[in-house]
Amino acid sequence: MSNDIETAAVSEGNGEVQEPVRSKRSAPTQTLPSDRLGFDKQLAALRAFGVAYETNGGRPVKNSEAGSILNMSENTIVVTNAFFNEAKLVTRQKEEQAFVPTAETMAYCKAHEWDPFTAGEKLKGAFEKCWFADAVLPRLKFRPHEENEVLTLLADACGASKDYVARVKMLLEYMVFAGLVIREGSMIKAAGTKAADKTPVAPVPVAAPTARQHSLPDENHAEFTFFLDAKRGRKVVVHAPHDMSQKEFDRVRKWMEIQLVVEDAEGAAPTK
């Protein structure tokens, strides 16, 4: 990583011109993704390293090889190298400026062919071992944080000044893409955790079943009781309308006869 020379101040006094004072912004202590290439293009570059590695017989991949797949200059794709290597997405070969994709990257490339929207989860294992996971996951597992809070935690962990806010945001995009964290509106939470502000719903108590109450007939009905045993412990209670016709009475009698026959067939003793 290199420090960036940003400003120079020139002052004049008594006709003499002082030497310019050059100031530098302090570089982060950890490698951040570049903001010189969009997020989608960075992911495409990662897949290009995987494709090149698979098609060239498993040899280390140079930036020119990966760039040719995307019609991208090697001077452009090179901006991805530092973060890819830091996050263990590729490993740099000492003998030459070439890279070997890791198992996580190759798994991501394969998964992308089937489902681009969930393929990023294949990178989660690599990211879980990185400094940025250590910086925020313990806190997020305790409670969700506002996105700005998470950006501040990441910036503090790598000593990044406000000048690097775009690159810190890019890092958070990688974390969301890999399923390391989940974004819900302006909130960031750890994967597999529930938002702390959601109050658990208490179970609704279920009332114990009560004995069925005997209902009284209304003014339009009369009550008739038929006992099924000598001790009058078992009975049939019928509410019949006052104006029941003989035909209707016969129907009820037949219905009761059928019920008693069924009961007898099931082993109940008939009433004498």
Contact assessment for residue 140 and residue 182, using Cβ atoms and an 8 Å cutoff: no
- For the chain, counts of helices (H) and of strands (E): 10, 12
Alpha-carbon gap, residue 104 to 123, rounded angstroms: 5
H helix runs in 72-201, sequence order: 74-77, 81-86, 103-114, 124-127, 131-142, 147-158, 165-177
Could you tell me the fold of the domain covering 39-118?
A: Arc Repressor Mutant, subunit A (1.10.10)
pLDDT tens for the chain, residues 1 to 272: 444 433 333 444 444 444 444 445 678 999 999 999 999 999 999 999 999 999 999 999 999 999 999 999 999 999 999 999 999 999 998 877 899 999 999 999 999 999 999 999 999 999 999 999 999 999 999 999 999 999 999 999 999 999 999 999 999 999 999 999 999 999 999 987 544 444 455 565 655 555 555 667 777 777 777 666 666 767 777 777 767 777 776 777 776 666 555 455 555 555 54
**CB-based contact 9:21 (threshold 8 Å):** yes
What are the b/e assignments for 82-91, b being 16+ CB within 10 Å? ebbebbbbbe
Q: Can you tell me which residue has the tokens 């974390």?
A: 175
Q: What is the 3-state secondary structure (H, E, C) of 2-27?
A: CCEEEEEECCEECCEECCCEEEEECC
Q: Where are the domains of the chain?
A: 39-118, 127-190
**Interatomic CA distance for residues 254 and 266, integer angstroms:** 19
φ, ψ (nearest 5 deg) of residue 103? -60, -35
> Within 13 Å of residue 64, how many CA atoms lie on the same side as its CB?
2
Distance CA 203, CA 165 (A): 45
Q: How far apart are CA 148 and CA 13, in angstroms?
A: 44
Q: Decide: pTM greater than 0.85.
A: no
